[in-house]
Amino acid sequence: MRHEVTTIHAMKPPTKFRRQGIAAAAGAALFSLGVREAVRLGNADLELARSRSRQLGATRIVAGLVLLIRPQLLTGALGLSDAGETGWWLSRLLAVRELGVGTGAAAASRSTADPWPWLMTVSAIDGAEALVLLTALRRKVVDRPGGWAFVAADLGSAAALITRLAHLRRLTTRGAD
């Protein structure tokens, strides 16, 4: 007696329009969170900076662990599913970076540490990543919706560096007067 197995799929694969909508919403949300944090950190005291560093560290560590366990999430979001195992290994490299950045940010939140250099470094890393992604988008090597969502998130984070540098400049200008 032969039995056939029937698979039931709970969801249809997302349409292109749905993927674009999800990517746009995710990018806008992450960009606005980044800008909000940038404004908050612009002239924050040391305790608030430590708190944000602790939160950033935890978030980046979780992101790194997710990418280690499910590397296809990144390759799928960027439209690189055809890259197969090679894409998965690149996702894992990014996961290691996220774990390193998260660990550094968490360590910088200690009561004896100054979190500002680390927070500014993370923002600079994200800004550089946005430039790389913009180049990839221009050359059409990554999926536009996913690529733009990541660019928006990275630019939101990079905004923290810009606002902090502006605040430091205001402080040094006032000090010179």
| C-alpha span between 71 and 19 (Å, rounded) | 18
Nearest to 105, CA basis, from 158, 62, 52, 155? 52
Q: Which of 113, 118, 112, 126 is nearest to 57 (CA)?
A: 118
Per-residue pLDDT tens listing for the chain (177 residues)? 566 655 555 555 667 777 777 777 877 777 887 788 777 777 678 888 899 899 999 999 999 999 999 988 888 888 887 888 888 898 899 999 999 999 999 999 999 998 988 888 998 999 999 999 999 999 999 988 889 988 998 998 888 888 878 777 776 776 555
Angle between helix 16-41 and helix 144-176 axes, rounded to 10 deg? 10
118/123 Cα distance (integer angstroms): 9
Domain enclosing residue 160, as ranges? 46-171
What length does the chain have? 177
User: Total structural domains in the chain?
Assistant: 1
pTM of the model as a whole: 0.78
d(CA 161, CA 65): 25
Rounded alpha-carbon distances, angstroms, from residue 135 to 95, 130, 138: 21, 9, 5
Q: Considering the domain boundaries, does residue 36 fall inside one?
A: no
Whether residue 21 is contained in a domain is answered as no
**In this structure, is residue 105 part of a structural domain?**
yes
